[in-house]
């Protein structure tokens, strides 16, 4: 049986037809001086292989005979530099590939000895191209061409995959960089697979949260059994079933007995469904932060505020007792105690809210409360503006003094007068000029005071400096007015939300 390499249905006649540029070069090449001799005398296996090569769209090289004379097609010529193409046509392989023969020669010899085909994928082979030695990666196959029962040559299918290799390396490097970011992220992260929420991966922060409890490959119900009765598992089930992410803040979590005993932590977390390319939910992405220290700090501040409030009230009570023994029961005592109560209300605004700032409207409503009944003649208008501690106390005392004065001598001393209290931002920047005004109308004619009392001192020497601004106090006969102007509110930023 003829064992020549013959493609079924292919005739050896006319095997040099077509083939583009390399087909023309092979047809016009002077083969008389070559060990191959004229093409019409070539073995049938070689003729068929060359015909197949010239009409193939993949890069193909043929090495034939003891000298491994080379023939190749147009796609293969595109892989070569000027050092090889076109001089390698009809040349011995060793002459062309001497610089890399130590890498490929053994494989070629193995094929020629009849030991079968070889295949290499993504192999680095560097050689000179366009005057420079370049690192390149190749995927190629060396297959025997049998002729009359022996191996007559080598059929080479080759492809340069340098760009693919570099892209794969870049992708691998990128994946490793993302893994490092994932691993060292400050928030805890986990990826859960399937409806049983099996741990596929966790990062260092997640492992720290669980004190290095071994959870990989385990469902949440098994890995963290105490989480089920605390609602975490139901939350995961809801996210997996609905595809809707869930967010929780300061959620308490009791972790069971371990080397350090039972612990209670607080977490901010997000459960995000993982959606595959086909739209199916395959798992849940978990991300969050251990906020235990923040919660504990806030609890400490809350308790400290309560203690401070308690001690403050004890001090104010003691001051009232001392004042009663000093002033007796005259009007000076009543006035002093009213001012102490105004200060106490301002203090309560902050300690009751457990915050470091109070809204300006709340401050004014607390200070003016006794004068603002159902038929109030005091109108408040302005945006939401947070005040710090000093500003809160200063405005409370100032509002109390203004309301007391209006009740005795001004707009609130009759049944017709009114007080308009308004505040506004007077620029576009976030911390720009701020203005607050107190205007009285409809009261008896205003007469400037003959002396500077406590109230005037509060208005001119406390209110302005504590706000970082100036106070303009006018005793117009038509009604007293005060304008507080602050060039900038400092660290307190305005809230420009509309007032309901």
Structure tokens at 135: 């690192």
pLDDT at residue 3, rounded to an integer: 39
In sequence order, what are the residues at sequence separation of 6 or more whose Cβ sits closer than 8 angstroms to the Cβ of residue 365? Answer: 372, 380
Structure tokens at 477: 């006969």
Which of these, 61, 63, 53, 59, lies nearest to 75 by C-alpha position?
59
In whole angstroms, give the CA distance from residue 450 to residue 444.
17
Give the 3-state secondary structure of residue 423: strand
Within 356-467, residue ranges assigned H as helices are 360-368, 389-408, 454-457, 464-467
Task: Quickly count helices (H) and strands (E) in the chain.
Answer: 15, 19
Are 421 and 364 in contact by the 8 Å Cβ rule? The answer is yes
The shares of helix, strand and coil residues in the chain, as percent rounded to the nearest 5, are: 40, 25, 35
Which of these, 165, 156, 59, lies nearest to 107 by C-alpha position?
156
Which of these, 286, 296, 186, lies nearest to 239 by C-alpha position?
286
pLDDT at residue 330, rounded to an integer: 60
Q: Decide which of 278 and 376 is more confident.
A: 278
pLDDT digits 0-9 by tens, 11-68: 444 677 777 899 999 999 999 889 999 998 999 999 999 999 998 889 999 999 999 9
In sequence order, what are the residues at sequence separation of 6 or more whose Cβ sits closer than 8 angstroms to the Cβ of residue 84? Answer: 96
Which of these, 142, 85, 131, lies nearest to 108 by C-alpha position?
142
pLDDT digits 0-9 by tens, 239-260: 999 999 998 988 888 887 544 5
Which of these, 399, 381, 388, lies nearest to 500 by C-alpha position?
381
pLDDT digits 0-9 by tens, 283-328: 999 998 888 877 777 655 565 555 455 455 555 554 554 555 555 5
pLDDT digits 0-9 by tens, 399-455: 888 988 888 899 999 989 999 999 998 865 555 789 999 999 999 999 888 777 767
Instruction: Please report, rounded to a whole number, the percentage of residues in the chain having pLDDT higher than 70.
Output: 80
Which of these, 17, 53, 51, 37, lies nearest to 90 by C-alpha position?
37
Are 251 and 271 in contact by the 8 Å Cβ rule? The answer is no
pLDDT at residue 274, rounded to an integer: 92
Structure tokens at 94: 């060793």
Q: What is the pTM (predicted TM-score) of this model?
A: 0.46
Are 44 and 4 in contact by the 8 Å Cβ rule? The answer is yes
Q: How much is the mean pLDDT over the chain?
A: 81
Residue 356 backbone dihedrals phi, psi, to 5 degrees: -95, 0
In whole angstroms, give the CA distance from residue 227 to residue 232.
5
Which of these, 143, 148, 90, lies nearest to 112 by C-alpha position?
143
**Radius of gyration of the CA atoms of the chain, in A:** 45
Structure tokens at 257: 């007995």
The one-character DSSP state at 350 is H
In whole angstroms, give the CA distance from residue 399 to residue 362.
12
Give the 3-state secondary structure of residue 316: helix
pLDDT digits 0-9 by tens, 361-383: 988 888 887 777 667 789 999 99
pLDDT band of 263, cuts 50, 70, 90? confident
């Amino acid at each position: 049986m003829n064992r020549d390499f013959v493609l079924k249905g292919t005739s050896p006649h006319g095997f040099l037809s077509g083939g583009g540029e390399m087909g023309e070069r092979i047809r016009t090449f002077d083969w008389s001086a070559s060990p191959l001799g004229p093409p019409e005398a070539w073995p049938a296996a070689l003729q068929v292989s060359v015909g197949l090569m010239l009409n193939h769209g993949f890069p193909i090289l043929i090495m034939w005979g003891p000298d491994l004379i080379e023939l190749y097609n147009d796609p293969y010529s595109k892989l070569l530099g000027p050092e090889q193409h076109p001089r390698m046509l009809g040349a011995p392989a060793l002459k062309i590939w001497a610089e890399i023969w130590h890498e490929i020669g053994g494989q070629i010899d193995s094929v020629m000895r009849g030991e079968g085909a070889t295949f290499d994928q993504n192999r680095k082979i560097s050689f000179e191209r366009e005057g420079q030695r370049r690192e390149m990666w190749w995927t190629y196959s060396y297959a025997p061409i049998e002729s009359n029962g022996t191996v007559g040559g080598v059929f080479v299918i080759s492809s340069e995959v340098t760009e693919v290799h570099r892209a794969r390396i870049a992708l691998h490097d990128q994946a490793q960089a993302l893994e490092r970011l994932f691993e060292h992220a400050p928030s805890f992260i986990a990826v859960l697979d399937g409806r049983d929420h099996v741990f596929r991966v966790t990062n260092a922060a997640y492992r720290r949260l669980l004190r290095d409890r071994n959870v990989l490959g385990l469902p949440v119900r098994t890995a963290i059994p105490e989480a089920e009765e605390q609602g975490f598992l139901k939350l995961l089930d809801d996210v997996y079933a609905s595809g809707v992410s869930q967010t929780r803040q300061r959620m308490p979590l009791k972790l069971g007995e371990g080397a350090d005993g039972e612990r209670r932590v607080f977490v901010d977390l997000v459960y995000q469904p993982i959606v595959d390319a086909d739209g199916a939910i395959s798992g849940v992405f978990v991300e969050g932060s251990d906020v235990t220290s923040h919660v504990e700090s806030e609890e400490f501040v809350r308790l400290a505020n309560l203690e401070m409030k308690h001690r403050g009230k004890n001090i104010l009570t003691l001051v009232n007792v001392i004042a009663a023994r000093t002033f007796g029961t005259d009007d000076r005592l009543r006035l002093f105690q009213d001012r102490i109560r105004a200060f106490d209300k301002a203090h309560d605004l902050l300690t009751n809210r457990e915050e470091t700032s109070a809204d300006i409207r709340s401050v004014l409503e607390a200070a003016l409360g006794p004068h603002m009944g159902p038929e109030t003649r005091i109108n408040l208008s302005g945006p939401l503006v947070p005040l710090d501690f000093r500003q809160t106390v200063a405005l409370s005392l100032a509002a109390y003094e203004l309301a007391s004065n209006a009740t005795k001598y001004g707009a609130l001393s009759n049944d017709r007068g009114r007080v308009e209290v308004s505040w506004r931002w007077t620029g576009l920047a976030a911390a720009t000029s701020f203005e607050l005004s107190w205007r009285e109308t409809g009261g008896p004619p205003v007469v400037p005071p003959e002396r500077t009392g406590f109230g005037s001192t509060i208005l001119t020497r406390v209110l302005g400096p504590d706000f970082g601004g100036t106070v303009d106090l006018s005793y117009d006969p038509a009604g007293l007015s005060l304008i507080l102007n602050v060039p900038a509110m400092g660290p307190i930023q305005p809230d420009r939300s509309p007032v309901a």
